[in-house]
A and B are shown apart, each in its own frame.
Chain A
Amino acid sequence: MSTKTPGEGGHLDRDKLFAARLHAARARPYLATALFALHTVESKQVPTMAVDRHWRCYVSPAFVDRMPVEELAGVWVHEVSHLLRDHHGRGDRVARERGLTGVGDRLRMNIAADCEINDDVYGDGLVAPKGAVRPWRLRLPEGQLMEEYLSGISFGPLTLDLAWLDCGSGADGLEREWDLGPDGADSLSEQERDAVRFRVAQGIKAHPGDTPQGWRRWAEEAFHPPQPWRDLLGAALRSAVSGSGAGDDYSYGRPSRRSAGVPGAVLPSLRRRPPRVCVIIDTSGSVSDGELGSALLEVAAISHAVGGRRDLVNVLSCDAAAGVVRPLCRAEGIPLVGGGGTDLRTGFEKALRSRPRPDVVVALTDGQTPWPSARPSCRTVIGLFPRPGRSRARRENNPEYVPDSPPAWARVVEIGSANGAR
Chain B
Amino acid sequence: MLGMKTRKRSAMLLLSAVMSISLFGCSTGNSTTGNAGQAAGEGSTATASAETTKPAGGKLVLYSAGPQKLADNIISGFTAKTGIEVEMFQGTTGKILARMEAEKSNPVADVVILASLPSAQALKADGLTLPYPDAENADKLNKDWSDADGNYFSSSASALGIVYNTKLVSTPPTSWAELATPAWKDVVNIPDPTLSGSALDFITGYLSVNGDKGWDLLDSYKANGVAMAGANQEALDPVITGAKSIVAAGVDYMAYSSKAKGEPLDIVYPEEGTVISPRPAAILKSSQNVENAKAFIDYLLSDEAQKLVADAYLIPGREDIEATNRANLKDIPQLKVDWNWMSEHGDETAARFSETFK
A and B bind: no
